[in-house]
């Protein structure tokens, strides 16, 4: 019997067991939760019991999670399809212990870049690095995917710490995006940051040129108000951006893991270098926890195992990320890229078809908004959606403490009601109070039944500070890593995004009428014809 078979059997045997019954055991909540410092991950409201957990932990041990983890931190080329190491963790290694790659310590170069970033960010904030019209009032980050989602998410998340110019983000090649972002801005006091690891991404380069044109004619030398975050120095020079405003990073930093280095520039300008260091410190603390905590107490490992239990074993197709924090409204999108670009693969490391389901569909919105939109399906729909709640015990708005109390009550109420549900008899009593009788009482009651027994986890922490955000992001990065190791996936490449890019490049001349659609499939031809028929 393999461990997977044991887990599948366990899932079958307990599928009708009520999660609430597990709380009859003493200390259920304490035993099925884990702490790292002042963060608590509670997975007691899932159907995982001691036997299941033991099998899941065995899965992690058999997959040699610890060996793979150590290989990642020590700079082995674990991204085998691109022949690259995975060392984004070095970017947040602010303790400064050496990190060796190919026989060289990478920390001096990382620290040098961090220091240059800090000088630049401090200069922008203090008005030493100025626009033609004076102090920089607005910073526009142009990038996409990992060069956008991270800084956009983090700038919003840390709004209470903003003390610098306003930050804006342009990602979509849709001209509406750059148009609407630039429209209210003054070109003479705007700094444009072109964020692209490769400096070839069509969306980013098209938007960068549009921003350059927007400045041209108003600003004498637009390039002076541009900075670049990229590994491709030759291309940034070709674009005309002076070397002192180019901040590079190595190919062992994947796009979706790049917020910790130069891609975090807009965040650093917004919150200041010191708070940015706190953010890095939080990530480094989670790294230390991941490296040293025993598996049963290891937050990233536990998150991964709960995820695998729900998706690969129980077969629940999606996972909802539900931060009860309006400022984390972009976090689900950020985790979407992190999880789906990393583990949305069809073959394992050796190139063979994957034996299990790949990573789940990840989606979500902040609470309480989601409650008034899609929670209906989560409570009563036919698909079970494991929910991952996250919330801070305290908000930043001390004058609105009562609102934070309401927010917390809503968060706890959701996980409680998902687990408990409401049975038919209770629904019938409610309908009796409403004076329904006979068949109509039964009909009305059946609409008000909640099957319950829907699993959820809760991550709770004192307050959303820069270091806490750093910890949360690193926690999820490592969770995705552990899931990938257990599934035998290369979590660090993204070949699945290439085909669409190639075809878009080929279709551009056809859509614009410079080339014929001959040879294209019937649907594509018809759509091209429609576009061209519109004057």
Q: How far is the CB of 342 from ligand F6P (least distance, A)?
A: 10
Contacts of residue 283, defined as CB under 8 A and 6 or more positions apart, other chains included, come to 89, 92, 260, 470, 471, 473, 474
DSSP 310: I
- Short-list 208, 234, 233, 204, CA closest to 223: 208
At residue 450, the 3 state secondary structure works out as strand
Q: How far is the CB of 248 from ligand F6P (least distance, A)?
A: 12
Contact of 465 with 280, CB cutoff 8 Å: no
Q: How far is the CB of 197 from ligand F6P (least distance, A)?
A: 4
For strands 456-461 and 387-392, give the pairing: parallel
Give the C-alpha separation, 203 to 367, whole Å.
Answer: 32
Contact of 492 with 70, CB cutoff 8 Å: no
Q: How far is the CB of 145 from ligand F6P (least distance, A)?
A: 3
**Smaller CB separation from ligand F6P, 198 or 426:** 198
**Smaller CB separation from ligand F6P, 231 or 441:** 231
List the catalytic residues.
Answer: 341, 372, 501
Q: How far is the CB of 520 from ligand F6P (least distance, A)?
A: 23
Q: How far is the CB of 344 from ligand F6P (least distance, A)?
A: 12
Q: How far is the CB of 33 from ligand F6P (least distance, A)?
A: 33
**Exposure string for 323-345, b = 16+ CB within 10 A, e = fewer:** bbbebbbbbbbbbbbbbbbbbbb
Contact positions toward ligand F6P, by CB under 6 A?
A: 144-147, 196-198, 201, 204, 255-256, 341, 494, 497
DSSP 302: H
**Smaller CB separation from ligand F6P, 262 or 366:** 262
- Short-list 291, 263, 295, 288, CA closest to 276: 263
Q: What is the CA radius of gyration of the chain?
A: 25
Identify the bridge partners of residue 320 per DSSP, sorted by sequence position.
363, 387
Report the 10 Å Cβ neighbour count for 173: 17
Q: How far is the CB of 333 from ligand F6P (least distance, A)?
A: 13
Q: How far is the CB of 328 from ligand F6P (least distance, A)?
A: 20
Q: DSSP string spanning 315-348? A: ---EEEEEES-GGGTTHHHHHHIIIIIHH--SB-
Per the omega criterion (within 30 degrees of 0), is the bond before 257 cis? Answer: no
Give CA separation, 1 vs 6, 13, 53, 196, 488, in Å: 7, 16, 17, 48, 19
**Smaller CB separation from ligand F6P, 189 or 204:** 204
Give the C-alpha separation, 228 to 163, whole Å.
Answer: 22
At residue 186, the 3 state secondary structure works out as coil
Contacts of residue 246, defined as CB under 8 A and 6 or more positions apart, other chains included, come to 227, 228, 229, 230, 233, 236, 237
Dihedral angle computed from the Cα positions of residues 497, 499, 501 and 504, in that order, rounded to the nearest 10 degrees: -140
Q: Which residue is nearest to ligand F6P (CB)?
A: 255
Q: How far is the CB of 190 from ligand F6P (least distance, A)?
A: 21
Give the C-alpha separation, 119 to 115, whole Å.
Answer: 6
- Short-list 286, 373, 276, CA closest to 329: 373
Contact of 195 with 142, CB cutoff 8 Å: yes
């Amino acid at each position: 019997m393999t461990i997977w078979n044991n887990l599948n059997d366990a899932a079958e045997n307990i599928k009708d067991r009520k999660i609430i019954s597990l709380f009859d055991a003493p200390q259920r909540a304490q035993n099925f939760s884990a702490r790292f410092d002042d963060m608590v991950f509670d997975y007691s409201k899932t159907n995982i019991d001691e036997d299941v957990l033991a099998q899941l932990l065995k899965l992690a041990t058999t997959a040699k999670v610890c060996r793979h983890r150590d290989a990642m931190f020590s700079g082995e080329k674990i991204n085998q399809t691109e022949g690259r190491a995975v060392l984004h963790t070095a970017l947040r290694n602010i303790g400064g212990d050496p990190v060796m790659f190919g026989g060289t310590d990478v920390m001096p170069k990382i620290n040098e870049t961090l220091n240059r970033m800090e000088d630049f960010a401090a200069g922008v904030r203090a008005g030493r690095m100025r626009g033609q019209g004076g102090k920089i009032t607005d910073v526009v980050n142009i990038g996409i995917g990992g060069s956008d989602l991270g800084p956009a998410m983090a700038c919003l998340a840390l709004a209470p710490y903003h003390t610098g110019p306003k930050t804006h983000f342009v990602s979509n090649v849709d001209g509406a995006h750059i148009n609407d972002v630039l429209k209210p801005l003054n070109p003479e006091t705007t700094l444009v940051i072109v964020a692209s690891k490769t400096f070839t991404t069509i969306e980013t380069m098209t938007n960068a040129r549009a921003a350059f044109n927007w400045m041209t004619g108003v600003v004498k030398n637009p390039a002076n108000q541009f900075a670049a975050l990229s590994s491709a120095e030759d291309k940034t020079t070709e674009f005309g951006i002076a070397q002192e405003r180019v901040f590079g990073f190595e190919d062992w930093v994947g796009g979706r893991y790049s917020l910790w280095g130069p891609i975090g520039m807009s965040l650093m300008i917004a919150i200041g270098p010191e708070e940015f260091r706190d953010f890095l410190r939080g990530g480094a603390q989670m790294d230390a926890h991941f490296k040293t905590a025993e598996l049963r107490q290891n937050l990233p490992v536990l998150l991964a195992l709960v995820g695998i239990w729900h998706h690969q074993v129980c077969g629940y197709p999606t996972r909802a990320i539900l931060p009860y924090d309006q400022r984390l409204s972009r976090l689900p999108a950020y985790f979407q890229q992190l999880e789906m670009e990393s583990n949305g693969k069809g073959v394992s490391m050796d190139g063979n078809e994957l034996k299990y389901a790949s990573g789940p569909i990840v989606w979500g919105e902040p609470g309480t908004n989601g409650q008034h939109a899609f929670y209906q399906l989560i409570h009563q729909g036919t698909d079970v959606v494991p929910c991952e709640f996250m919330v801070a015990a305290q908000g930043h708005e001390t004058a609105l403490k009562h609102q934070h109390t309401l927010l917390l009550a809503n968060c706890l109420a959701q996980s409680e009601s998902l687990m408990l549900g409401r049975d038919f008899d209770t629904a019938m009593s409610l309908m009796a109070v409403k004076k329904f009788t006979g068949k109509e009482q039964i009909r009305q009651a059946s609409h008000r039944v909640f099957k319950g027994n829907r699993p959820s986890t809760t991550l709770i922490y004192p307050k959303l500070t820069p270091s806490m955000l750093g910890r949360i992001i690193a926690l999820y990065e490592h969770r995705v890593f552990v899931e990938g190791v257990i599934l035998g996936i290369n979590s660090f490449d993204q070949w699945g995004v290439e085909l669409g890019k190639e075809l878009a490049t080929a279709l551009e001349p056809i859509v614009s009428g410079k080339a014929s659609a001959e040879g294209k499939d019937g649907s594509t031809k018809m759509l091209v014809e429609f576009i061209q028929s519109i004057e």
